[in-house]
Amino acid sequence: MHETRIALLKALARGEFYSGTELGEICGVSRTAIAKHIEGLKGLGIDVFSVKGKGYKLSSPLSLLDKDVISQYLVPPQDKTNLHLDLTILSQVNSTNTYLKEHLSQFNSGHVVIAESQSAGRGRHGRTWVSPFASSIYLSMYWRFDGGYQALSGLSLVIGLAVVDTLTEIGLPSAQLKWPNDVYIDMQKIAGVLIEVEGAVGDAVNCIIGIGLNVKLPSNIEGIEQSYTDIESHLGTPLVDRNKLAALLLNNMKRIIRKFESEGLATFVSRWEALNVFENKPVRLIMGDQSIEGVCLGIDNEGALRMQVNGSVQSFHGGEISVRAI
């Protein structure tokens, strides 16, 4: 994003009225230029309105991402050997997962990319993740797993637990999990996980762990094809601090990933099953053109979904499987 537009956003984020002249002085440009940048902000889906005699104002204040603020809430490494915050914050990006993959050689394991907005956010199976500006957390973390592909079974499941832990910490203890990568509140999706892996079989692998977490979605949002919700709808808080939220999420992700590396999925299974949104409910699995109906029983120690189908228990792994309530 243009530096002038960033300065303009930071001024307007306070939620107060500013005249075109005042904004021009803050940003070092003319009133005419401010008017053009205001139109640019509207193009990002940011609701800016103007009142004659008062100037410009956002419909509601924005919580903009700030690396220094995020660092204040992060738990430092236990050995205190590396207190550097491996974090990149972007105003706009096509996709945080894509950006990390394209720049992977520049980063160390543990590096995180967070964006204010995505022009081509991605969910599973090529679906679009709608990503309006400063409305959610769009985050991707790079992690190198020395154990290879076999060490990744169930990773999306434990990342879902990290999201649930984060929501619980901010006052939303009712989140549940949908196999294999979604987080729900009241049967509505509030977050999703997208895991992408690169590497050779039998060797260490580079893993990109993407999370989209809805914070405050615009009321007129379009393009979401399923029931959804966001944090502010449940908290009733007018402005969630996205910097603190991002830091809490990163703390929980790193804690859970390290435990997953050393102990595997088995240690998380019982907790995941306690949060299973479809526990003992009839479901339909869609695998390409194939459809299987049964009762959702939970997961096994490899992360496969266990279902009772026609009187017998069967396990189903990842791929093109989605779970739908009947």
Catalytic residues: 124, 189, 324
Backbone dihedral region for residue 42 (phi beyond 0: left; psi -120 to 50: alpha; all else: beta): alpha
Ordered DSSP codes for 271-306: HHHHTBTTTT-EEEEEETTEEEEEEEEEE-TTSPEE
Phi, psi angles (nearest 5°) of residue 257 = -65, -40
Return the structure tokens found at 170.
């901010």
Q: Quick check: 97 and 140 in contact, CB under 8 A?
A: yes
Helices 20-27 + 3-12 axis angle, to 10: 130
Task: Name the residue type at position 74.
Answer: L
For residue 311, the 8-state DSSP code is T
Residues whose CB is less than 8 angstroms from the CB of residue 151 and which lie 6 or more positions away in sequence, other chains included: 145, 205, 261, 264
